[in-house]
Structure 1
Amino acid sequence: MTKPVLNLDEVVLQTPAADRAPKGANAQYYDIRRGKIASRIGARKLGYNLTAVAPGKTSCPFHSHRVDEEMFFILQGTGELRYGDARYPLRAGDVIACPTGGPETAHQIINTGEAELRYLAVSTESDVDICEYPDSGKYLASASGDPSGKPLPRQVRVIGRPEDSLDYWDGE
């Protein structure tokens, strides 16, 4: 049986694998270091991780989810939450709700301080999700299982732009 308790001092922060690391001209704005928690304590329907962001950086692009809801708890440091058209200052002890939706719920946490920003990220773990990226006009569609929870033979993960969409009958 998995131990249901884990202290944050036992979480090892890691940078993503090369295929998941930021690339391109804007890679300089990102600093992604996360430590897994959920799988280590037996979580099934919620995902948890510890995230650390260097000063002046962010961990991910401005985005919203159509299925998964997220919550963040600021542990240390200061920053700014970009949420829809608004911006909010952040400090240790702040709790952030990021419900599902479109551009109005798009969010991004930016470290505006001079020290590392650390937060606990919690989200629902749906087998299917659609993310939208308002800054770049992209979307991400992903599916890793069927409604019964049974894994699919292969994961579906597509990143595109709406204007690149094919007609439903294309190739049929």
Structure 2
Amino acid sequence: MKPVINIDQVNCQTIMALKPNAPAKYQGARLGPISPLIGAQKLGYNLTELPPGKAAFPAHNHYGNEEMFYIIAGQGELRVGEQRIPLRAGDVIACPPGGPETAHQIYNTSSSADLRYLAVSTAISPDYVQYPDSGKSGAAVVLGRDEKGIPKAVRLMNRETDNLDYWDGE
């Protein structure tokens, strides 16, 4: 396995997690895993392509993993907590782990061009993630990757207001 790949060789496919019942603002986002193609062990890399007016994921924050994004082409907006920051090609974004004040989302603000970016993340598993807009939280343990390089994981997702009491059922 070569430890080098040109970004033009990365095959992006519609994100599998976005099934037909996903909200329209996420439909059509594409992801191209890079890590398994170059033998990465402790970092996850992917190429993300967003059609105009779309985001790949809801705003979220990680307690275990840190993410970095590099804007390759297009324009968009980064949401971090309550801030909105314009994005353009060449921008580098740091998303350290933390609480809801670190929740982040990248959105394509163009009406005609895709937004393309390189995403790099630590590959700490398990990780705990919050989705402040919907009040959800979840934990995931990554168990490897499928034949397309997509992580296989055991996920637990819930609404924070619906958590069981520690002593429930004891």
TM-superposed deviation, 1:23: 5.1
Q: Structure 2: which 5+ runs fail to align?
A: 144-151
* Correspondence for 2:49: 52
* Correspondence for 1:3: 2
Per the normalisation by structure 1, the TM-score is 0.88
Q: Does 1:128 align with 2:126?
A: yes
1:137 to 125, 131, 135: 135
Cα deviation code 1:78-112 (max 9, x no counterpart): 00001111000000000000000111110000000
Per the normalisation by structure 2, the TM-score is 0.89
Is 2:73–2:116's contact at 8 Å kept on the other side of the alignment? yes
**2:72 partner letter:** L
**1:42 partner letter:** G
Q: Does 1:29 align with 2:25?
A: yes
* Correspondence for 1:149: none
**1:21 partner letter:** L
* Correspondence for 2:13: 14
Q: Structure 1: which 5+ runs fail to align?
A: 146-153
Question: Residue 155 and residue 118 in structure 1: after superposition, are their counterparts in 2 closer, same or farther (change >3 A)?
Answer: closer
Is 2:50–2:114's contact at 8 Å kept on the other side of the alignment? yes
**1:14 partner letter:** Q
* Correspondence for 2:166: 168
* Correspondence for 2:148: none
Alignment partners' CA distance in 1, 2:78 and 2:99: 16
Identity percentage over the alignment? 56
1:77 to 52, 62, 74: 74
